[in-house]
Amino acid sequence: MDEDRTKGMAEKAKGKVKEVAGKVTGNERLEGEGKGDQVAGQTQKTYGEAKDTARDVLKK
């Protein structure tokens, strides 16, 4: 598994925690940051998946 996939999943989880904390406390800024972190994490995870796929294709 590519390191970007792992980092992306961690970033997504961190973003979810921030989003929930923002909702619970009524902090819209924190909630927005959390949503942004989730998008960034998903992007990084997808990039890592693409790298894994390309690596697998090149091995064949």
**What's the CA gap between 55 and 49, in Å, rounded?**
10
pTM summary value: 0.88
Phi-psi region of 27 (alpha: psi -120 to 50; beta: other; left: phi over 0): beta
pLDDT digits (tens, 9 = 90+) for 4-54: 999 999 999 999 999 999 999 999 999 999 999 999 999 999 999 999 999
Domain residue limits, the chain: 3-59
Question: Which tens digit of pLDDT belongs to each residue from 45-57?
Answer: 999 999 999 999 9
Q: Which CA distances in Å does 27 have to 21, 35, 38, 39? A: 8, 13, 17, 19
